[in-house]
Amino acid sequence: MASNSTDSSGSEKKKAGGIRSRAAVVHETNAPLVVEEITVRDPGPGEVRVRVAACGICASDLHVWRTGEGLAFPAVLGHEASGIVEAVGPEVTAVCEGQRVVVAWVPRCGRCGACRSGRVHLCAAVRTDGSDGSLVLGDQSLGRYMSVSGLAEHIVVSERAAIPLVDGVDLETACTIGCGVTTGYGAASITGGVRSGEQVAVFGCGCVGLSAIQAARIAGARKIFAVDPNRERLALAAEMGATHRVTPDDGNPVKKIQTESDGGVDLAIEAVGGGAIVRQAFDSVAPGGRAISVGLTRFDEQVEIPLVSLLLDKSLRGSIHGSADPIVEFPKLFGLVEQGELELDKLVGPDFPLEKVNDAFEALESGRAIRPRVIF
């Protein structure tokens, strides 16, 4: 609703149909992100405005910033956000003002074929280059990466994308459930269907890989191989449930996994990106085994698979967002965090203010941080 009154906090001056806010704007491929004052329009029917508390920097934010693939410039990146519902539009029933939420990037339109067949993670409405007019710089509508754009102080999202957080989980830490944790956990538990007693290999021990390792441990996997060149990350993987640590320095990781698993694992999760690692994951699984590719790569990247392997009932499958429906899966993950089963604290940080957002991207790209966060 239009209003020209002064906001009681003094920091946000309302203007007709929206509020003033700040966001990290990326104007072109590889250009540094610039913190700028923007207008965030009021939530419409079925929408809520979220005051963002924290936004994790995910590998796909880094990827699209570096490559420009599928991005509409100028854009606001960030798709792993948590925050507090500050205003609700007409007809909103799922959440209320003041509620703590984790934002889902799956739009869950409810109308497309994927949504109607229960595979909402494949919702046709998901966009990397959407521009819905809710975030405006000057007179220019900003591109919204994955319909979230969490690197803004305020965002407008569908009420279906604002998943209420339980009291026992820290709001800022829970942002990782918005993408990385769900992607890794779901890749193992939902897409990969990991079962008790199975042997599992996880390639890449970032936020996604470490979450997959935790899913395998919680499911009762017998052996969990963590593969990463970084020994500190392998130590963390062991804390989270990995039983075997594998680095390329030890020789061919595939041979090592095959030897120590007596012929190959039941499930391999690739959480790095790139054809070479996907092939390693595929080669690590035994006949009848499943290899799941999660890592984002350039759109023209290829992988070659010997067809004869498929005759051994081996499969290679992709996974997006852990095949998860956020409305169903986020609450399960909140519960696991509350019970101390799922570790998030060691995945997140270091933290940066919005002004240092470029340093947060650098921390991820250099490998210094698993999940740098911008804290608002």
Binding residues (CB under 5 A) for Zn ion: these are: 58, 60, 109, 112, 115, 123, 125, 179
Nearer to Zn ion, 15 or 119 (CB): 119
Nearer to Zn ion, 67 or 309 (CB): 67
Nearer to Zn ion, 179 or 254 (CB): 179
Burial of 138 (0-12, 13-18, 19+ CB in 10 A): exposed
Nearer to Zn ion, 60 or 284 (CB): 60
Nearer to Zn ion, 27 or 111 (CB): 111
Dist CA 90 CA 65 (whole Å): 35
Least distance to Zn ion, CB of residue 106, Å? 8
Least distance to Zn ion, CB of residue 124, Å? 5
Least distance to Zn ion, CB of residue 112, Å? 3
C-alpha of 57 from chain center: 9
Bridge partners for 181 per DSSP: none
Nearer to Zn ion, 68 or 222 (CB): 68
Nearer to Zn ion, 182 or 214 (CB): 182
Nearer to Zn ion, 12 or 325 (CB): 325
* Main-chain dihedrals φ then ψ at residue 18, nearest 5 degrees: -175, -175
Residue 245's contacts (CB-CB under 8 Å, 6 or more residues apart) are 225, 226, 231, 234, 235, 237, 238
Nearer to Zn ion, 59 or 254 (CB): 59
Least distance to Zn ion, CB of residue 347, Å? 13
Burial of 203 (0-12, 13-18, 19+ CB in 10 A): buried
Residue 162's contacts (CB-CB under 8 Å, 6 or more residues apart) are 48, 50, 85, 94, 95, 99, 101, 103, 104
- Cα 24 to Cα 43, 65, 112, 230, 337: the distances in Å are 21, 12, 32, 30, 30
